[in-house]
Structure 1
Amino acid sequence: MARDAEGRSPAWTDPTCPVARTADLVGDRWSLLIIRDAMDGARSFTDFQQRTGIARNILTERLRKLVAHGLLTQVDAPSGRRRLYALTEAGKDLFPVIVTLRQWGERHAFEAGEAHSVLVDDNGTRVPDLLPTAASGSPLTSDTTSVRRPESGAALT
C-alpha cells in the first residue's frame, strides 16, 4: 500500500473506491502535470519547474508525494552531481489516464478552431481516441456499466 512521505498510510477519501483513492494520490493539478511532463521527458527539478511554472515549495512537496507513493523514483544523474526523477511502472500505468484527460480537453476545453497541442505516435499520426470496450468489443459508457461495491470489506475481482 502507498504511504506518505512520513511512511504513514494515507487517509482515504472513500476507502473502497478506486477512483477516490487515485484522486487522493494524483488528483491535484500539479501532480498530474508533473506526471504528464515526466511522460514527455522531464527528469530534473528544473525541468518540472520550467515546464509547469509551479512554485518551488509546491513542486518539492508534490515530487516527494509522488516518490513516496511509488509513481516516481529518484535516480542518479549521469554526472552523479544530482538526482533525477523517473517514472515507475505505476507512474507509466497512468499513461491512458493522461491520454483520456488530454482527449477530453481537446473536445471540451477549447473553442472550435482554437490551437492546442496534439499527441502523436512515433510516425507523427494523431493518437486515436481511447474508448472503453466490453469483452465483446462493443463500446462502454456510463449508461452501460455499473459499480459493484464490496460486501463487508471483501475484495472484488
Structure 2
Amino acid sequence: MDAWNEARTAVDLDPGLERDMSNCSIARTLEIVGEKWTILILREIWYGASRFSDFERILGCPRNLLAARLRMLVEEGILATETYKEPGSRSRPKYVITSKGMDLVPAVMGLMQWGDHYCADPEGPAVMARHQACGAHVDVHLRCAEGHSVPAEEIESVPGPGFRTKPAE
C-alpha cells in the first residue's frame, strides 16, 4: 500500500473524525470574499464597472462599507488600482481585476449558475454568460486533472498534505 492510501486509511474523512478545521481553505476564502458586497463588487468588475462612483451608484452600498471592501480586495491582490483623470477633474483611482481575481471567476460563475437555476426571475436570468468567440452559453463544470467530467456525487474528499486532526484533550 502506498503512503497516500495508508494516510487515507489511517485518517478517513468521515463526519465523526475530529478534524482540525483551522487549516481550511474554504474558511480562509470566505474570510476574504464571503460577504455579499464583496461578491457584488466582483460581479460589477466583470460587468465593466471600475470607479468608486460606479459601484456606489449601481450597488447602493454605503460609502464606508464600499470603501472598506474595495480596500480589502486591493490589499488581498484581487483588485489593483490605476489612476485615471477626466478633463477638468483631479486624478482618481479606478479598480481593475488582477490574475488572482480572475481565478475567482469559476467560483462566482458557479454561484450565478446555481442562482439562475433556483432563484431566477420567472422570466429567466437577468444576465447570460456566453463565449465571446462563438456565442455559446458558458457554464461551470467540474473536471478532474485527467479531463473527465465529474458529477458532484463522484467527488471524494481525502486528506491533503496540510490535513491534521485536533490534538487530544
Common fold: TM-score over 0.5: yes
Does structure 2 conserve the Cα–Cα contact (< 8 Å) formed by 1:120 and 1:127?
A: yes
Q: Secondary structure at the match of 2:73?
A: helix
Residue of 71, 85, 109 corresponding to 2:78: 71
The aligned counterpart of 1:19 is 26
Is 1:36 equivalent to 2:43 in the alignment?
yes
Amino acid at match of 2:27: A
Q: Which moves more between the two structures, 106-115 or 31-40?
A: 106-115
CA distance in 1, matches of 2:102, 2:133: 21
Gaps of 5+ in 2: 1-20
Amino acid at match of 2:68: E
What do you get for the CA RMSD once the two structures are aligned?
A: 2.3
The aligned counterpart of 2:97 is 87
What per-residue deviation string (whole Å, max 9, x for no partner) do you get for residues 10-60 of structure 1? xxxx54111111111001000011111111211100111122111111101
Q: Secondary structure at the match of 2:111?
A: helix
CA distance in 1, matches of 2:134, 2:72: 34
The aligned counterpart of 1:109 is 119
Superposition deviation, residue 124 in structure 1: 7.0
Change (3 A) 1:86 1:130: same
Name the % identity.
29
The aligned counterpart of 1:99 is 109
Residue of 129, 132, 143 corresponding to 1:133: 143
Change (3 A) 1:72 1:111: closer
Gaps of 5+ in 1: 1-13
Superposition deviation, residue 121 in structure 1: 2.4
Superposition deviation, residue 119 in structure 1: 1.5
* Larger helix share, 1 or 2: 2
Change (3 A) 1:32 1:115: closer
What per-residue deviation string (whole Å, max 9, x for no partner) do you get for residues 79-129 of structure 1? 461111111111111111111111010011125544522112225734332
Change (3 A) 1:67 1:52: same
Q: Secondary structure at the match of 1:57?
A: helix
Q: TM-score, normalised by structure 2?
A: 0.72
Instruction: Report how many residues are paired.
Output: 140
Higher-RCO chain (CA-CA 8 Å, sequence separation at least 6): 2
The aligned counterpart of 2:3 is none
